[in-house]
Structure 1
Amino acid sequence: MNVLNRSDSVIVNEHSFKYAAFISYNSTADSKLASALQLALHRFAKPWFRPPVIRVFRDKTSLSAHPALWHSIQKALGESEHFLLLASPGAARSFWVQREIEWWFANRPAEKILLVLTDGALVWDDVNSDFDWNQTTAIPVNFRSRFEAEPLYVNLQWAKTSRHLSLEDLKFRGAILDLAAPLRGIPKDELDSEDIRQHRRFRIFRNAAVSAILGFALVAAWQWHEATQQRNEAQKQTKIAVAHQLAAQAELLRTQQSDGLPLSVLLAIESMRISASPEAHHALHDGLALLPHQVSAVSHSESVKAIAFSPNGKYLATGSKDGTAVIWDVVSGKELMRLPHGKTVLGVAFSPDGKYLGTAALDQTARTWDLTDGHEILRLEHRMTRGDSVTTVAFSPNGKYLATGDFDFTARVWEISTGREIFRMAQDEAVHSIAYSPDGRYLVVGSGNSTGKQSPEIAKGGATVWDTRGKRQVTHVDLDGAVQGVAFAPDGKSFATASWDHTARIWDTITGREIMRFSHPSGYVEAVCFSPDGKYLATGSNDNTARVWNVETRREVSRITHDKFVNAVAFSHDGHYLATASLDRFARIWEPGNRHEINQIPEAEFNMMGMNGGLPAIMLNNLSKNENLGWESLSGNQSSKVPGVQYTTMMLGKTVTSQDGKYMSQLGSADVKPGSDKTAIVWELPAGREVAGLSHQAPINDIAFSSNNSLVATASSDRTAKVWKLPAGREVAHTVLNSCVISVALNSDGQYLATGSEDRTLRVWEVATGREVEKMLHKKEVGAAAFSPDSQYVATADVDNLVRVWSWNSTPEPYVVAEFRHEKIVKTLNFSPEGRYLLTISGEPSSFEDSQARLWLWRPEDMIIEACARLPGNLTSEEWGQYITGERPRKTCPKLPGP
């Protein structure tokens, strides 16, 4: 009996048959369809969590292969209520299908047969009440005369693909409903409703399950994300800690270990690469500022004791312990001439015309050599009782005289043309160095006990200035160590000493008053020389370094490292090169000094500094002569004059030009022509034609042009910044702030305006809408600003002398990527056209103080490239293991040797 059991909403067929149907089919033609039918009949109108309501027999799934196969099929046929034939020509020809049909007709009623047409034809003949066997091809002849009326059948000839054989396909579901209803003994509408209900219940459960799974998955994903975040944060913090440690070690090596500069820079690079930070940037910048670029190197077979440049800067002379003096080509390092002395050469000097070389040696002689062919033209014998060394030699500026010093406590002046001694200067100790003043009037002699009879710590020394005209002593200074080197400043007003008391000092030539001193805490100072312009002092030390100092600021600006003591230093006559000589057998030629500091601007001869045609330059005006303005490049070469603009009143302001030099504007006080301090006049160059007047209600503090010359911006004490269209001078934007606007900048296309103000902020505005898009807080008022060419960065300078470069346009929050400090307030900022350099200019042009222009590498990648170009090598494996643990050694600079 068939009933619908509503207690658990499951339709149940309560019958003694084990199977609701036996599927008979041709396995070759209909195996896939038979499997799909069986699965669909099992699942139809069934709760998802219960077993099938009915079971359908299919031989491939219900029987295992064994010899008594037909017996098993007979048993299954006997346990099946219905016979489900998949009718097709293949089935009609199948032996097994025919045998199964024969059994059924012999043992079961024909009305329990259900037909599913999968291929071929089923044609009924109403006249004969039988199939038309001339046209019927899908069933075997066993069916002849078995039915009194045409049996119903389900047509599945269309169901050929997996997409068709799914209950999700409505047509296939309808066919299954047609078959399931008689198999279950349930009306189609009830069975259809039950299937829909079960399907709905399943979807509800499935959605709930999916939601739960998604919930668990989301929780798991969140936990995984949190764990990943925590792991990443831990790794990040570890990297930051390692980077900070490396930056601190780099700083320590640079400041406390005299020969540790290369290692310091390498650690700073690794710190920057591991985790960029202000500390790493400072360490790399400060190290790079000191690190010079080596041009060439030459070597002797023994230590190099003396060094000198030729007047034209093309040649270098060295004296060595190997008993020779050698002339080298500066750029190529090629040996050009070798002059034999026999014993250690302690001193070398070129004559002012570069034709001769003077040498001093351990063989008690000083000699003069003709450099056209290398022959000796003069030999000066020092007959000594207390030593055997002529230690130093110097030509007079007029080239007529040669000064020498020796271990016999004497310095002498010789007439070169005759070889006659004309002046002897007795000293209290052995003479180590001697130098002429630029005008030749004075000689300074450095002396001290350094023969080994006394330790350097107690050896006394001194320097004596002699008047060569009056042949008298002018002044004498005593030091607590032997004076190994002396040099006059280019103006002759002062001289420098290098001493074993760990200092280099500058003294007044006439009074002997100490002016300043420079310390080598970890070594004795062996040599000293001034740059040709007198701005820098170079020192050599037995701490294996040579250093270059800014005389005005007393700041170290360059440090050169050798493997052993540095015995001698010499600037080329144009100041472009510095040569160093060392006990490590090498003489090296460097481009010295702080490359960032590119020029010092003289008093009262400039009006403003900036970029002229994209190149660093200063705008000059000789105020005393009322001469026209002109651009001068920061290399010191006059590059252009600006006609048509001439002033008869002293200028006390700031001149700003557009990047291509097309426009110029002057800011100044009320008594300064061409306009009052509330109006900025814009001229078109080179004609000097006035094109616009830009007015505010209070003094204008700054003005800036966009790169394309379409716009100009002004900042004023009336708390406003304005943007004007050029050349008409029409106001196109107006921004009001809550404090005095000090500085202003436009990005390259004029889309953004930056304002620096007294409220200690730098704000970026959208010119078209006036909307504030970013704000950067500072500790002091922002006095200058500039956009990088790509507008991704903005540089600022506050009145605390600090310059910062901010990333602002591509990050969620602005952050500082570079930071520099000046000694004075920075008034002008400019990026180079390609963005690689930042030009900063400090000082007060309006009060005619000395200003300072510097070019900075600010991008970490550019600083690293530059550092690698200057470094001699990478970290060794030992250094890597000492400073960077947990990582395998690698090349910090790919093109350098090691590790």
Structure 2
Amino acid sequence: MDLLGKRGKPSPSHYDGFISYSRAADDRLGPALRDGLHQFARPWYRLRALRVFCDARSLSASPGLWTTIEAALDASHCFILLASPESARSFWVLREVEHWRSLAPERPMLIVVTDGEIVWDHEAGQFDETLTTALPESLLRGFTEAPLWVDLRSVRTETDLSLGSPAFLDTVATLASALHHRPKDELVGEDVRQHRRARRFRRFSWTGLSLLTAAAVVGAVAAVNSADVARAQRDRAERQHRSAVSSLLVMRRDQVGDADPVRSGLLAAAAWHFNQTPEARHGMLASLATPARDVLNDLGDTRALSPDGKILAGDDRAMRLWDPVTRRWVGHPFTAHFRSAKFSQDGRTLVTLENDEDIRLWDSATWRPIGTAFPGPGDDVVALELSPDRGTLVTVGFDEKIRRWDTATWRQIGPPLTGHTDDIESLRLSPDGTTLASVGRDGARLWNLATGKGKPLGGHTGAIRSVAFSPDGRIMATGGHDGDVRLWDSVTAKPVTSPRSGHDGPVSAIAFSPDGETLTTAGWDRTVRLWDPTTGRQVGDSLTGHTDIVSAVAFSADGTLLVSSSLDRTVRLWDPEARRPIADPLKGHTEEVTPLLFSPDGRTLISSGQEETVRLWDPRTGRQLGTPIGIPNAYGNAAWPMALSADGQTLVIADPDGEVQPWGMADRQPIGEPIQVGRRVQAVAVSPDDATLAVGDGEGTVSLWNPATRRPVGQPLKAGTEAVQALVYSRDGTILATACGGTIRLWDTATGRQIGNSMEGVNSMAFSPDGKLLAALGGDGTTRLWDTRTQRLSGDPIKGDGAVALSPDGQTLATAGADNGVQLWHARTGRPIGNSLKGHTADVLALAFSPDGQTLASSDNAGTILLWRPGIPADPLKAVCALAGRSLTEQEWRLYLPEGEPHKKIC
């Protein structure tokens, strides 16, 4: 999109941009931004790519300072404002803004936020005057729609303000895209090409320099110095080149997205190979988080899926069987011309309906015909089914009559089965072959295949398009024309669950997993969905990616892979276990549960419930350990504040009545007498060396205690005037963070003094393991990352509500969502990793990562605890390569990377 509008090329006396900034705030950033715009995508034969005015670089001695600036403004095509509270108050910035707005109104303005806040009020159609601190007052109401602004707050304090910095390079690319009137990805590619040309030019220069050095001994010192400069320039160009290629690949990965998860993961891996940026790491994690595992679009026409997920595919000349688990063809091709096919339930036999209406049986291992062809029943066949023993074939035509045939003689068995009054859509035999289900526009019927007697499903009205039996044959699932999914008792033909609304349109296919614990459905709405047969409820989000009706679904034999085929001529592979709870809910609490704690070895999970019990769990089995710890109190139901010692041997439980009692984790018995705090306790924390116990009370005071002597140490900390909501020690114990009345304060544990500024509007928090980042959940439902070194916010706000947790490596953030889900985020970029984890039916209140980061625990206000395997690998590159089983092909490399970039095997 052209942000600036069309224009002619400026004359040499014109400027492409004018940078307005406060020298007090951005004396380094303003000139660096000007230099970056001059160099980005610069042809080697030109002095600069753009001509940008910046007073620190462009002004010379002049008797009329404002006259010179005014002339530069008049000659500039675009105004670039470095917005900050200092620039909003700067006399010169205000004067420059006023003069710019007095010029022709079509001249654009770009805003780069370097400090403070900018908030657009969509309802009022202007900037929010109460929250915006980085803009002059004259600009708050000066726009008719939200303008473009770029966030450079996280870059402002970096020591490397050059194109070698990925974040700074991305900002320069965004602004240069607007000034050049070219798409950002195209401009990044141009920058890569120019760096490559410059590199070739430097190579030629180096060769010439070497020859001159050999010929001129007198100039040896100068030549060496020149070589050093050339080497430094070469290294800088190489870094810029790798950074540009990495940024381009990240953009390509985002464009591919979940439509092709393997390819998008490999693009992110390639970006990581060129430059290990947070954006590249997020791209790999995002690809790993999707339940999609591959897209098979080179197999030809998909004719059928076997019950174990193997795919019959090919073209008009030959058919082959493809195993999605091994990614290999099975057996040899065979030639057949048919318009439909279906596998037997054991997958060993294929039934084909040929173009001339003949029906033939094939051995799927040898592709040899079994017996003679059946000329057909004399009526168009719309559905057929083969019995498990391969002795009986069931067919139905447009006359709504079901016929049974002896496959040895092809003679009809008994009279037709009648009862349907409208078109029959599908037939399905039970696993033991005794019961036949027929579904169609007038509902469904169950038949005794031996006797031919049938009965309709009780209480069902409306059309049914698909049907499946559970592996034990006891439950039958149907998918309706209206998108409903229903479960039935196959013996009584009565419903076992109420109808569940799922698909937006007819359910075209349905299948059970091999263990019968998962049901999958596919629909005309192009989605695949998973269901819990015991409750009839959908599990997780819908699986999307197909672009046309999904016609068939099947599980692999071990249940670890789900296969779907579609009229879009693709087959997709899915992980049915991805992003689902790894165990049944941990039940025992009857009221809300908060907080959650993992022991240092990760073998015990500790939960505190509002019904006045603390429970210990084995997260590997989901079983409760021993009897609950319970201490009644005078305030009625309340969840106990608690903390665990660093060695994992002592659990500290705080009674709201003012007592803090240490308990032994081994025997779950009290250790000594309780510490008498004297005030209602709201939060507790144990220092990493187990030498100090921090206790926050209901009046904003944090007292420090020696757990061994039960005596206070040092002076209390005044965290505020309201109840202390949370206490957290940094991993090294040098910082104590307190949350009180919506304000976070950081304290130096050695001196007891507050560090830096406080952070307002915060309810809960969590430290990264290195203590450099503090994740703070605000009352507005967003989580911000606070850099404890610079005392500044890091990155953009992250949506989340109710709870927050940081993974042990500090790379992944977990937040509770308003939809009863848990969302994972890449902490460094603030971008989500996959869809939210669904399973809770009430508000999520607490989150905790295990010490190895491989398990995430979540609890809600209904007393339910769920355990998740977040799937965040320590080495995302290795995980992406293992999933793909390959690198980018040469064809993919040429398609996505700049021209001339030599092909590399990333995996």
TM-score normalized with structure 2 length: 0.51
Q: Distance in 2 between matches of 1:560 and 1:791?
A: 40
Q: What stretches of structure 2 of length at least 5 have no aligned partner? A: 1-26, 39-161, 176-183, 186-246, 489-493, 797-810, 821-842
1:527 and 2:522 correspond: no
Q: Is the 8 A contact 1:301 1:585 kept in 2?
A: yes
Partner-residue secondary structure (3-state), 1:474: coil
1:828 and 2:846 correspond: yes
CA spacing shift, 1:658–1:467, aligned 2, 3 Å: farther
1:507 and 2:489 correspond: no
Specify the alignment match of 2:906 in structure 1.
895
Specify the alignment match of 2:576 in structure 1.
592
1:432 and 2:409 correspond: no
Shift of 1:790: 2.7
1:569 and 2:587 correspond: no
Specify the alignment match of 1:139 in structure 2.
none
**Aligned residue identity for 2:172:** T
Shift of 1:744: 2.6
Shift of 1:305: 0.9
Q: Any residues of structure 2 matched to 1:149-298 within 5 Å, and which?
A: 227-228=34-35, 236-240=170-174, 242=184, 259=259, 288-293=288-293
Specify the alignment match of 1:686 in structure 2.
666
Q: Distance in 2 between matches of 1:467 and 1:726?
A: 73
Cα RMSD for the two superposed structures: 6.4
Q: Distance in 1 between matches of 2:781 and 2:507?
A: 33
Match of 1:483 among 458, 465, 478: 465
Shift of 1:690: 1.6
Shift of 1:765: 2.7
Shift of 1:251: 7.3
Q: Is the 8 A contact 2:37 2:172 kept in 1?
A: no
Q: Deviations over 1:620-676 (max 9, x none)?
A: 89999x999553325x465xx645766698996367655764233456xxxxxxx55
**Aligned residue identity for 1:746:** Y
**Aligned residue identity for 1:592:** P
Q: Distance in 2 between matches of 1:702 and 1:415?
A: 76
Specify the alignment match of 1:347 in structure 2.
342
Specify the alignment match of 2:617 in structure 1.
631
CA spacing shift, 1:699–1:811, aligned 2, 3 Å: closer
1:765 and 2:782 correspond: no
Partner-residue secondary structure (3-state), 1:764: strand
Q: Distance in 1 between matches of 2:644 and 2:553?
A: 42
Q: Distance in 2 between matches of 1:697 and 1:238?
A: 58
Match of 1:387 among 377, 380, 385: 380
Partner-residue secondary structure (3-state), 1:686: coil
Q: Distance in 1 between matches of 2:586 and 2:416?
A: 40
Match of 1:737 among 719, 736, 743: 719
Q: Distance in 1 between matches of 2:401 and 2:314?
A: 22
Q: Is the 8 A contact 1:549 1:556 kept in 2?
A: no
Shift of 1:685: 2.2
Q: Deviations over 1:245-282 (max 9, x none)?
A: 9999977876xxx8466677678889999999999999
Q: Is the 8 A contact 2:401 2:417 kept in 1?
A: yes
Q: Deviations over 1:448-505 (max 9, x none)?
A: xxxxxxxxxxxxx5752648697333244545xx835657799988845276xxx853
**Aligned residue identity for 2:664:** E
Q: Distance in 2 between matches of 1:467 and 1:699?
A: 69
Q: Is the 8 A contact 1:792 1:810 kept in 2?
A: no
Q: Deviations over 1:851-886 (max 9, x none)?
A: 444454679x966765565468888999999999xx
Q: Is the 8 A contact 1:508 1:515 kept in 2?
A: no
Q: Distance in 1 between matches of 2:608 and 2:461?
A: 43
Specify the alignment match of 1:556 in structure 2.
541
Q: Is the 8 A contact 1:611 1:617 kept in 2?
A: yes
Q: Is the 8 A contact 1:712 1:723 kept in 2?
A: yes
Specify the alignment match of 1:719 in structure 2.
700
Structure 1 or 2, whichever has the larger Rg, is 1
Q: Is the 8 A contact 1:546 1:559 kept in 2?
A: yes
Specify the alignment match of 1:133 in structure 2.
none
Q: Distance in 1 between matches of 2:667 and 2:320?
A: 59
CA spacing shift, 1:697–1:425, aligned 2, 3 Å: farther
CA spacing shift, 1:883–1:318, aligned 2, 3 Å: closer
Shift of 1:559: 4.7
Q: Deviations over 1:56-81 (max 9, x none)?
A: xxxxxxxxxxxxxxxxxxxxxxxxxx
**Aligned residue identity for 1:719:** G
Shift of 1:777: 4.6
Partner-residue secondary structure (3-state), 1:238: helix
Specify the alignment match of 1:303 in structure 2.
302
Q: Deviations over 1:201-260 (max 9, x none)?
A: xxxxxxxxxxxxxxxxxxx99997684377559855233564899999977876xxx846
Shift of 1:424: 4.3
Q: Which moved more, 1:282-291 or 1:743-752?
A: 282-291
Q: Is the 8 A contact 2:737 2:745 kept in 1?
A: yes
Shift of 1:841: 1.5
CA spacing shift, 1:245–1:878, aligned 2, 3 Å: same
Partner-residue secondary structure (3-state), 2:35: helix
Q: Is the 8 A contact 1:289 1:596 kept in 2?
A: no
Q: Is the 8 A contact 1:304 1:583 kept in 2?
A: no
Q: Distance in 2 between matches of 1:386 and 1:238?
A: 70
Partner-residue secondary structure (3-state), 2:671: strand
Q: Distance in 2 between matches of 1:543 and 1:699?
A: 56
Specify the alignment match of 1:56 in structure 2.
none
Shift of 1:386: 3.1
Q: Distance in 2 between matches of 1:725 and 1:417?
A: 87
Match of 1:753 among 714, 736, 740: 736
CA spacing shift, 1:539–1:574, aligned 2, 3 Å: same
Q: Deviations over 1:269-311 (max 9, x none)?
A: 89999999999999876665324346x99998862512323xx
Q: Distance in 2 between matches of 1:424 and 1:740?
A: 74
Q: Is the 8 A contact 1:531 1:571 kept in 2?
A: yes
Q: What stretches of structure 1 of length at least 5 have no aligned partner? A: 1-219, 310-315, 448-460, 668-674
Q: Distance in 2 between matches of 1:679 and 1:401?
A: 76
**Aligned residue identity for 1:387:** D
Match of 1:474 among 443, 458, 464: 458
**Aligned residue identity for 1:756:** A
Q: Is the 8 A contact 1:304 1:587 kept in 2?
A: no
Q: Distance in 2 between matches of 1:753 and 1:486?
A: 58
Specify the alignment match of 1:615 in structure 2.
602
Query: How many residues are aligned here?
Result: 615
Q: Is the 8 A contact 1:261 1:559 kept in 2?
A: no
Specify the alignment match of 1:787 in structure 2.
767
Match of 2:353 among 355, 358, 362: 362
Q: Distance in 2 between matches of 1:327 and 1:883?
A: 28
**Aligned residue identity for 1:516:** S
**Aligned residue identity for 1:306:** L
Q: Which moved more, 1:696-705 or 1:336-345?
A: 336-345
1:664 and 2:664 correspond: no
Q: Is the 8 A contact 2:320 2:331 kept in 1?
A: no
Tell me the percent identity: 17
CA spacing shift, 1:646–1:764, aligned 2, 3 Å: closer
Q: Is the 8 A contact 2:757 2:791 kept in 1?
A: no
**Aligned residue identity for 2:486:** W
Specify the alignment match of 1:517 in structure 2.
502
Q: Distance in 2 between matches of 1:741 and 1:496?
A: 54
